[in-house]
Chain A
């Protein structure tokens, strides 16, 4: 089985792997939902179904030494960066096989080897932290950068604005990636936010911005790469708004009754997996049976991961006492 780093490198080099990773993210999220329905998961979870291209595009553009902060809706970003299905499912099920040994759960993933900083369950909290990771790169003179991935709703919290301002005046090598999935919890963005496009918020901090099709992994990768180049070159931060859509409810308890009729169907026409798969077949990157082959390989991988995770012991009671303070 591939290591997180190998998974990441493969994704960076090969668009076929990017497609496969999106399929993996979707299959895994669906599996998480099934495990929930079977009563195997304690607590809550936030699925990123529909947002797979954001995760894969970001991971394709970032170096493994770049630092990424993301949210509780972070399963996709984590897998794209390289976290293995076993590490992810293990964490969600509270098993020793989890990325932090099962004491974190669905909202708390981490793997420094691939630049995945501890994920954030507090809205907005990861945005200034990414600026701080960029500060490290600037002070040490490396040409690494940082990426903050956060939701549209997070741009109404002070941390977002403070982080953008700070990054702007210090020209920090950080890219702010807003996943605009149209909702913050049960509220449509227009009910909580007076602007149509989040990207315009960059203007007040005098930093460049762009609106990107968040359902196209190539477009995401290209935009993030461009912004990372600027950042590494000393030009400072960029705000990217990735237009995307949250297929599921906010969290497991939410069936999204507030969603207008036809909205999901309209977005599904832009489904990142269906469209990118078709594109790769047209380009000849995937063969005629390529779609089915990928799906079969992914399903087998996930079945194997579930088996491994269910055989892994729950986090022992001693685990809650470990790592409270560094030695």
Chain B
């Protein structure tokens, strides 16, 4: 198994799909000659040439829309949106056009499109370049959504996304691009969309994490006196109910760990489903550990406070276990907001 950085794993996944399917093309800003601002398309131009690997102008609506059109007529485009916020200027093409084609063609037209975007805080890019924004994608039927938490699943989810016959958004936590791990490459490395991964096993709680928070949740579990299942959700649309339900039925406690603001975060869906379907199995109210309802601040310390840290996750979970109640978030505990 090769050891790779997450950006290398992404380049490798795209290259493997391009080798096996000549319909796969790659579009984005500075992704060809410069191999991507985060080096997530290394070697692609050299190997596959400028017909299939294209630098675009700064025209997200134009090239994402073109990718929708190309996908609907036979290609499998992989589009890079450098920072997920830039999806904002192209959202119509994804959510209102591409996501609806299959439905509005009576099932005759398929849109095998992959949209990759870097997400998240932690690198000092400031308010307009640091959000996770899963909420822009979930809640739109017709789209799938996967989120990488490291090199191995970045590889496996990317390949599955490119093979999928639907528009799939793959979010890549930017601060993990340089993280290294061993990656299973080839067919065995592919991870089916909609399947979660159990990162840690335990019995006192089910901690569900996604993307950047998988690290914090896993570290918290490793350092804690409590023992919990840590589930890396990997896909949000659809999400792996089976694995989460099986775990919660066993542990009786659900915790989500999210980098997004509390309001409208993906964890609310998980909590709502579990609360409705497994009400009788719960030994404590579900706990959501999130960022506060504020734009992402600049400044190292502020940004670090914004994102749930492993220490914070550890403290919140132990309090839930000790008291059977949901502890207040840090901003209420410190009386910063009521």
Contacts and interface: CB of A to CB of B under 8 A. Distances in A.
Interface in A204-261: 258
Contacts of A42: 124, 298-300, 303
B125 A43 contact: yes
A95 to B, nearest CB: 9
Nearest to A194: B57
Contact of A191 (B55, B125, B303): B55
Question: For chain B, what secondary structure do more than half of its interface residues adopt (helix, strand, loop), or is it mixed?
Answer: loop
Contacts of B297: 103, 315, 319-320
B288 to A, nearest CB: 18
Contact of A187 (B30, B126, B127, B128): B30
B331 interface: yes
B294 A185 contact: no
A156 B89 contact: no
A325 to B, nearest CB: 10
Contacts of A108: 126-128, 298
Contacts of A191: 55
B85 interface: yes
Interface string B106-129: 000000000000000001111111
A94 interface: yes
Interface stretch (A118-126, A136-144, A290-298, A299-307): A118-126
Interface of B: 29-30, 33-34, 37, 55-62, 85-86, 88-89, 123-129, 292-295, 297-303, 305-306, 331, 334, 336-337
B224 to A, nearest CB: 25
A107 B85 CA distance: 15
Contacts, number: 123
A314 B301 contact: yes
Contact of B298 (A102, A153, A193): A102
Contact of A321 (B57, B58, B128, B292): B292
A326 interface: no
A94 B293 contact: no
Contacts of B294: 320-321, 324
Contacts of B57: 153, 156, 184, 192-193
Interface in A154-182: 154, 156-159
A318 interface: yes
List the 10 shortest-distance A-B pairs measured between CB atoms, nearest first.
A43-B124, A105-B298, A94-B299, A42-B124, A156-B57, A192-B57, A121-B128, A320-B297, A105-B126, A186-B34
Given A94-B302, A153-B58, A321-B337, 10 more contacts: A43-B124, A43-B126, A107-B128, A108-B128, A121-B126, A154-B58, A158-B59, A158-B61, A186-B30, A319-B297
Contacts of B302: 94, 103, 315, 317, 319-320
Contacts of B59: 156-158
Contact of A43 (B56, B61, B128, B298): B298
B299 A105 contact: yes
Question: For chain A, what secondary structure do more than half of its interface residues adopt (helix, strand, loop), or is it mixed?
Answer: loop
Contacts of B127: 103-104, 108, 121
A19 B12 CA distance: 51
A87 interface: no
B298 A324 contact: no
A320 to B, nearest CB: 4
Nearest to B85: A122
Nearest to A251: B37
Given A42-B299, A103-B297, A105-B124, A258 B34 contact: yes
A106 interface: yes
Q: Which of A103, A184, A185 is the most central at the interface, judged by chain B CB atoms within 10 Å of its CB?
A: A103
A94 B298 contact: yes
A44 interface: yes
Given A43-B126, A108-B127, A192-B57, A317 B300 contact: no
Contacts of A186: 30, 33-34
A38 to B, nearest CB: 15
Contacts of B334: 317
Contacts of A159: 89
Contacts of B336: 317-318, 321
Given A122-B89, A123-B58, A154-B58, A320 B128 contact: no
A94 B301 CA distance: 10
A259 to B, nearest CB: 13
A41 to B, nearest CB: 8
A104 B55 contact: no
B301 A187 contact: no
Contacts of B55: 187, 191-192
A192 B129 contact: no
B299 A122 contact: no
Contact of A107 (B30, B37, B126): B126
Contacts of B30: 185-187
